[in-house]
Amino acid sequence: MAKKPKVLVTRVLPRPGMDLLKLHFDLDVNYEDQVIPREVLKEKIGNKEGLVCLLTDNIDAAIIARALRLKIIANYAVGFNNIDLVEASKRKIPVTNTPDVLTEATADLTFGLLISISRRIVEADHFLRAGTFKGWAPELLLGADVHEKTLGIIGLGRIGRAVVRRARGFDMRIIYYDNERLPVDAEKELGVQYCALTDLLREADYVSIHAPLSERTHHLLSTSEFELMKETAYVINAARGPIVDEKALVRAIKDKKIAGCALDVYENEPRVESELIRMNNVVLVPHIGSASVETRTKMALMVAENVIAVLVRKERPPNVVNGQIYGQ
Ligand code: GLV
Ligand code: GLV
C-alpha cells in the first residue's frame, strides 16, 4: 500500500471528522487543549501535504514559506481572514473553508444575542442568582421590544439572510447594507430593503454584522458610525471582531450614544476590553456562533472531505475559496 499523505491537524476536531481523516492520512495532531504554538507549527508544517487549521492559527507568509510540500490548507471555519490567501495562491495551494453548514447555527446565536440584550436576559439571570428577586414588580428589568423593530443587517450573505428569515418571524422591518445590492425581485422575496450604511445606522434599532473581515470592513463601525446610531440601538456582532472598533464601541456605550451591544467576537481575541466586562448593558459570549454539536460535527466532516478531495482523489476541493488557482 502506498504511504498515507501526512496531514497536520492543529487542534482536535469532533470525532467523526478525526476518524475520517485518520482513515486516509498519517496524522500529526496537536492534542494540547490550546492553540498550537507558532514555533511548533513552523517546524511541523515542513513535511506535511495537508494542513487542517483553525481561525486562531495565523497562516501567514512565513508559515506558508516553510510549507514546502503543502497541497491544501483546510480551515475549520467559514471565515478565512487568518490565512494569507495571496501567498497560498502564489504557491497554487487551495484554501478551503466550511460554508453553509454553520449558517443556521450562527443565525440562531445571533438572534439569541439580539433577544438577550434587548430583554436583558443575562442581566436578569444574574439578578435572580444574586438572591435579589423579591417578587413580580411593574418596573423590574424592563427591556425593549424586539418585534416590529427595525433590524439593520450589514452583509447580506448566507448568514445575513438566515438572520433575516428569523427576523421576519418577529415582524421586524429589515434593512440591509452590502457592497453588492440584490436584484429588486430578490429583495422583495426576502422582505428586505437596501440602504446606504449611514441610513442603516440612523434607522436601525439593531445593527447586526454579517460581513467577512477584510481591509474594506476593518473598523467599519467606529466613532462616527456610532454617532449616527439611535441612543436606543444595539450593536450585534457574531462575524469578526475587528469589523468593530472596540475602543470606540466602549466609548459610545459609556457616552450613551448607543444602548449597548451583544458580542460573540472581539477585536483582539481572546482579550476583551475590560470596560465591556464591567458593563451591564452588554452581552458577551466567547466566539460560539457555530458551537453546536451538530454543526461542529458537520464542519469537521467537511474539512476532512476537502483534504481527501485534494490528497486522495487529486481533485479540486468542494469548498475552495481561491478557485482562481484552477484557472477559472
Ligand atoms: C467562525 O467564526 C467561522 O468563521 O467559522
Ligand atoms: C457566510 O457564510 C456568509 O456568507 O454569510
Alpha helices in 48-182 (DSSP H): 61-66, 85-90, 103-118, 121-129, 158-169
pTM of the model: 0.95
Q: Is 24 a catalytic residue?
A: no
> What integer pLDDT is reported at residue 2 of this predicted model?
77
The answer to whether 240 is a known catalytic residue is yes
Q: Which residues contact 276 (CB under 8 A, 6 or more apart)?
A: 246, 249, 250, 253, 261, 263, 282, 284
Predicted pLDDT of residue 111? 98
Which spans in 119-173 are helix H? 121-129, 158-169
Residue 208 near ligand 2, beta carbon < 6 Å? no
Residue 76 CA to ligand 2 center (angstroms) comes to 14
* Residues 63 and 43: beta-carbon distance below 8 Å: no
The residue ranges of the chain whose pLDDT is under 50 are none
Distances (CA, A) of 66 to 41, 53, 61, 91, 156: 10, 15, 9, 12, 37
> What torsion do the CA atoms of 238, 240, 246, 252 make, to the nearest 10 degrees?
-50
- List, edge to edge, every strand of the sheet that includes 173-177: 193-194, 173-177, 150-154, 206-209, 234-237, 260-263, 282-284
The three cell numbers of residue 60 are 501567514
Q: What domains lie within the chain, and their CATH numbers?
A: 6-101+293-326 (3.40.50.720), 103-284 (3.40.50.720)
Identify the burial level of 82 via C-beta atoms within 10 angstroms of its C-beta, where 0-12 means exposed, 13-18 middle and 19 or more buried: middle
Query: Whose CA is closest to atom 3 on ligand 1?
Result: 77
Rounded CA gap, 155 and 111, in Å? 16
Ligand nearest to the CA of 212: 2
Nearest to residue 144, comparing CAs of 252, 248, 231, 249?
231
Beta strands of the chain (E only): which ranges?
6-9, 26-29, 50-53, 72-75, 95-96, 150-154, 173-177, 193-194, 206-209, 234-237, 260-263, 282-284
287 tagged catalytic: yes
Contact 21, 7 (CB under 8 A): yes
What sign does the CA torsion over 251, 252, 257, 260 have?
A: negative
The number of the ligand nearest the C-alpha atom of 79 reads 1
* HSE (side-chain half, CA atoms, 13 Å) at 249: 30
Candidates 11, 161, 210, 287; catalytic one:
287
Find the 287 Cα to ligand 1 centroid distance in Å: 8
Q: Reduced to 3 states, what is the DSSP secondary structure of residue 206? A: strand
Q: Write down the pLDDT at residue 328.
A: 57
Q: Write down the pLDDT at residue 48.
A: 98
